[in-house]
């Protein structure tokens, strides 16, 4: 490394779940591959089903510690803290609490979750309902002495609770919450926030609302995204999307942002490496071809 080389980055890069080019492997084996690829973090996906058991959790914990891979966990998609049905609200709270307990067993530092849908309620009513559910959950987590941080995510569809403002306001109102900023969702929701200046403005807003330290440990999601007037349609790979990820990386770098970047593209390990190399200033043409030859699915 030359004397002018950048100091080691403060941003960690990793994948949402098992990289798609790996077939029939356990999460613990996937974490080994993440380490071999030179990535730094991994988000355990409990999104569609609850597949974890104690043995798997211990294995994940051990493997991640051995390789120095930082873990987070994404809670079930079947959470709606604003459901008009009280039973569904309680079941949602139970799912979120269960995710926190499993995260602790796995050694994951935070749990990312989707708050829910507006349904028939106004944004204000939805906010009140979600806030009160989260206050209860946080008080239980506190009693259990859990070190896990709860992170409500900014959402991509307009029917979903979770504009940037709503998430920041929640984090101000409920003690202990920190945001998961999904920039693809933020972009897809309004079709905006896709330039260096807008990324910077957004990050400075987060700093203003949640304090300067927040930029040192952000949890970020990124993927390419297809969208229409209703917002997000689906995730695609970064290079196939209109997302200006090079400007995004530059904005994070210039504001000295630290924390975790979790890549959620269909080919999530390729995109995580792409972002990591851009961040480290090492994405050369021959390296790009190497990764394309080895890690791009047919
Ligand atoms: Zn999510």
Q: Tell how far the Cα of 14 is from the centroid of ligand 1, in angstroms.
A: 15
pLDDT band at 5 (very low <50, low <70, confident <90, very high): very low
Q: Which of 4-13, 14-23, 149-158 has the lowest mean pLDDT?
A: 4-13
Q: Tell how far the Cα of 185 is from the centroid of ligand 1, in angstroms.
A: 9
DSSP state of 81: T
Nearest to 191, CA basis, from 140, 151, 230, 138: 230
Q: Tell how far the Cα of 76 is from the centroid of ligand 1, in angstroms.
A: 9
Q: What is the pLDDT of residue 190?
A: 87
Q: What is the pLDDT of residue 288?
A: 57
Q: Tell how far the Cα of 257 is from the centroid of ligand 1, in angstroms.
A: 21
Supply the CATH classification number for the domain 11-292. Answer: 3.20.20.150
Give me the DSSP letters along 164-216: HHHHHHHHHHSTT---EEEHHHHHHHHT---SHHHHHHHHHHHHHHH-GGGGG
Q: Tell how far the Cα of 153 is from the centroid of ligand 1, in angstroms.
A: 6
Q: Tell how far the Cα of 80 is from the centroid of ligand 1, in angstroms.
A: 13
* Cβ proximity of 146 and 186 under 8 Å: no
Nearest to 218, CA basis, from 275, 169, 260: 260
pLDDT band at 281 (very low <50, low <70, confident <90, very high): confident
Q: Tell how far the Cα of 274 is from the centroid of ligand 1, in angstroms.
A: 21
Reply yes or no on whether the pLDDT at 298 is more than 70: no
Question: Pick the residue with more confidence: 4 or 74?
Answer: 74
Q: Tell how far the Cα of 164 is from the centroid of ligand 1, in angstroms.
A: 14
Q: What is the pLDDT of residue 287?
A: 56
Reply yes or no on whether the pLDDT at 255 is more than 80: yes
Q: Cα angle vertex 260, ends 258, 263, to 5°?
A: 135
Q: What is the pLDDT of residue 80?
A: 98
Q: What is the mean predicted confidence (pLDDT) over 117-143? A: 97
Q: What is the pLDDT of residue 49?
A: 86
- Tell me the per-residue pLDDT of 172-228, one tens digit each, with 9 for 90 and over: 999 999 999 999 999 999 889 999 999 999 999 999 999 999 999 999 999 998 899
Q: Tell how far the Cα of 160 is from the centroid of ligand 1, in angstroms.
A: 11
DSSP state of 108: -
Q: Tell how far the Cα of 154 is from the centroid of ligand 1, in angstroms.
A: 8
Q: Tell how far the Cα of 290 is from the centroid of ligand 1, in angstroms.
A: 30
- Tell me the per-residue pLDDT of 77-91, one tens digit each, with 9 for 90 and over: 999 999 999 999 999
Q: What average pLDDT does the structure give for the chain?
A: 92
* Token pair listed for 265: 């593209």
* Cβ proximity of 215 and 203 under 8 Å: yes
Nearest to 261, CA basis, from 214, 223, 213, 221: 221
Reply yes or no on whether the pLDDT at 292 is more than 70: no
Q: Tell how far the Cα of 113 is from the centroid of ligand 1, in angstroms.
A: 6
Reply yes or no on whether the pLDDT at 4 is more than 80: no
Q: Tell how far the Cα of 233 is from the centroid of ligand 1, in angstroms.
A: 14
Q: Tell how far the Cα of 208 is from the centroid of ligand 1, in angstroms.
A: 24
pTM over the 0.85 mark: yes
């Amino acid at each position: 490394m030359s004397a002018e080389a950048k100091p080691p980055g403060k941003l960690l890069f990793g994948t949402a779940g098992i990289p798609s080019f790996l077939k029939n492997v356990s999460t613990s084996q996937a974490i080994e591959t993440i380490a071999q690829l030179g990535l730094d973090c991994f988000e355990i996906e409990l999104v569609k089903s609850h597949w974890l058991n104690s043995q798997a959790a211990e294995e994940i914990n051990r493997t991640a510690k051995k390789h120095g891979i930082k873990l987070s966990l994404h809670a079930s998609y079947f959470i709606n803290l604003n459901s008009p049905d009280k039973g569904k609200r309680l079941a949602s709270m139970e799912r979120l609490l269960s995710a926190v307990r499993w995260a602790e067993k796995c050694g994951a530092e935070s749990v990312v979750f989707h708050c829910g849908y507006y349904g028939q309620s106004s944004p204000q009513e939805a906010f009140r309902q979600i806030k009160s559910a989260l206050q209860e959950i946080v008080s239980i987590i506190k009693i259990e002495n859990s070190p896990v941080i709860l992170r409500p995510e900014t959402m991509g569809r307009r029917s979903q609770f979770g504009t940037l403002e709503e998430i920041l306001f929640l984090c101000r109102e409920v003690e202990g919450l920190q945001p998961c900023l999904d920039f693809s969702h933020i972009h897809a929701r309004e079709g905006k926030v896709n330039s260096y200046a807008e990324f910077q403005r957004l990050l400075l807003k987060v700093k203003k609302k949640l304090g300067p330290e927040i930029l040192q440990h952000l949890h970020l999601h990124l993927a390419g995204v297809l969208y229409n007037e209703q917002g997000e349609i689906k995730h695609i790979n970064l290079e196939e999307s209109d997302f200006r990820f090079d400007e995004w990386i530059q904005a994070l770098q210039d504001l000295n942002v630290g924390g975790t970047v979790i890549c959620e593209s269909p080919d999530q390990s390729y995109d995580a490496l792409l972002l990591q190399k851009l961040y480290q200033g090492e994405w050369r043409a021959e390296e790009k071809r190497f990764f394309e030859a080895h890690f791009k699915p047919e």
